[in-house]
Homo-oligomer: A and B are copies of this chain.
Amino acid sequence: MNIYEQDLDKSAANYAALSPVSFVERSAEVFGDLAAVVHGARRYTWAQTRERSARLAAALRELGVARGSTVSVMLPNTPEMVEAHYAVPALNAVLNTLNTRLDAPLLAWQMNHCEAEVLITDREFSPVMHEALRLLREEHGRSPVVIDVDDNEYRGAGERLGKHEYEALLAAHPPLPQLHGPQDEWDAIAVSYTSGTTGDPKGVVTHHRGGYLNAVCNAATWTMPHFPRYLWTLPMFHCNGWCFPWTVAMLGGTHVCLRKVEAKAIFDAMREQGADHYCAAPIVHNLLINADPALRDGITQRVRGMVAGAAPPASMIEGMARLGIDITHVYGLTEVYGPAAVAVKRDSWAGESLSEQTRLNGRQGVRYVL
């Protein structure tokens, strides 16, 4: 035994399990007065977002959610979706974000497969979730506790399905004193389903350590500053928003929520909320390129977009450059927490022509550093 193996065991003084939950507590503590979430007329500071998440955690715990329990959510990019990303892992429970575009049989199949004990669902999805819950009950004998979200930014139809209403539940539960990460960083944090092109969807289980590291790597890869104003174009249900719910918490940034991805709403968020970072599939970037140029008037800050998928076509990169939006191309998959390869831009490219920059930026990237 060498001298470095003596008297140097792990203890609370020298070892903390890696968990993105720690970012939420820290930002509430050190940036508590700064904006954490903007959604229509709603505004929450980091202290308030922490408190709402800690109330949700307290409520879920009373409903029986504990280590290894699954909480499914059927939510657009709203404050409740952000809070679910903070509250569920803080109970050492596992977050299952349902793809809002799926049909009832597939939703029921997934909730059964991951043994969902609680479902948090937005009123907009009531018709499909009503049917999914019926299938889940009749075919699989499962009846998760249902919590309805009645978002004041949603004005459409949709009945409530459960006996709990989200805001009432938060009001009824004092917040947990602290949001803790798990003792074991290897514990599951989320389960997400692949599209199942070639058979049943695969359930991808991710862990706290991985979520933490990829959240950090997003910031490092993109050289994100403190306090980014991050616009939610990418669905958070998609692979936990590539870990950006946690990246934004790490940086004390602002989640600019968006129920629906439309060109006008995106440009409005850039102009009115100062949104300066966003992630999206190529189709969303093309939406911006092809939008009425008048929609972009009055946006003065530099905006940076991340585009994922196959190496993007030159027309798209060039189109974004002409819009003044700085694009970074990444590639990844659910199995690796989101982005895992990135086209890192080199300083020497700045002197190249736009078409050469486009060619260089359009190449497939290099592996993430963490």
Residues A65-87 near B (CB distance < 8 A): 67-70
Instruction: Given A3-B114, A205-B4, A250-B369, answer yes or no on A226-B226 (Cβ-Cβ < 8 Å).
Output: no
Across the interface, name the chain B residue whose C-beta is closest to A224.
B223
Distance A226 CA – B224 CA, assembled complex (angstroms):
11
B3 touches A115 (CB 8 A): yes
Q: Is A94 an interface residue (CB 8 A)?
A: yes
Distance A227 CA – B348 CA, assembled complex (angstroms):
11
B227 touches A226 (CB 8 A): no
Nearest-neighbour CB distance to chain B for A343, whole angstroms, equals 11
B residues near A366, Cβ cutoff 8 Å: 26, 29-30
Number of copies: 2
Instruction: Given A30-B344, A186-B10, A220-B220, answer yes or no on A4-B226 (Cβ-Cβ < 8 Å).
Output: no
B residues near A138, Cβ cutoff 8 Å: none
Q: Is A104 an interface residue (CB 8 A)?
A: no
- Pick the 7 closest A-B CB pairs, nearest first: A2-B68, A4-B188, A30-B366, A223-B225, A4-B68, A219-B220, A250-B369
Q: Is A347 an interface residue (CB 8 A)?
A: yes
Given contacts A30-B367, A219-B220, A226-B344, 20 further A-B contacts (CB under 8 A): A2-B68, A3-B68, A3-B70, A4-B68, A4-B187, A4-B188, A4-B191, A4-B205, A5-B68, A8-B188, A8-B205, A26-B366, A26-B367, A26-B369, A29-B366, A220-B220, A220-B250, A223-B225, A226-B346, A226-B347
Residues A288-311 near B (CB distance < 8 A): none
B residues near A69, Cβ cutoff 8 Å: 2
Nearest-neighbour CB distance to chain B for A349, whole angstroms, equals 11
Q: Measuring CB to CB, which residues of chain A are less than 8 angstroms from any residue of chain B?
A: 2-5, 8, 10, 23, 26, 29-30, 34, 67-70, 94, 114-115, 186-188, 191, 205, 216, 219-220, 223-227, 250-252, 344-347, 366-367, 369-370
**What are 21 of the A-B contact pairs (CB < 8 Å)?**
A2-B68, A3-B68, A3-B70, A3-B115, A4-B191, A4-B205, A5-B68, A8-B188, A8-B205, A23-B369, A26-B367, A29-B366, A30-B344, A30-B366, A34-B346, A216-B216, A220-B251, A223-B225, A226-B344, A226-B347, A252-B344
A346 touches B227 (CB 8 A): yes
Across the interface, name the chain B residue whose C-beta is closest to A188.
B4
Distance A367 CA – B29 CA, assembled complex (angstroms):
10
Distance A115 CA – B6 CA, assembled complex (angstroms):
14
Distance A34 CA – B219 CA, assembled complex (angstroms):
22
Our pick among B2, B94, B250, B367 for the contact of A4 (Cβ within 8 Å) is B94
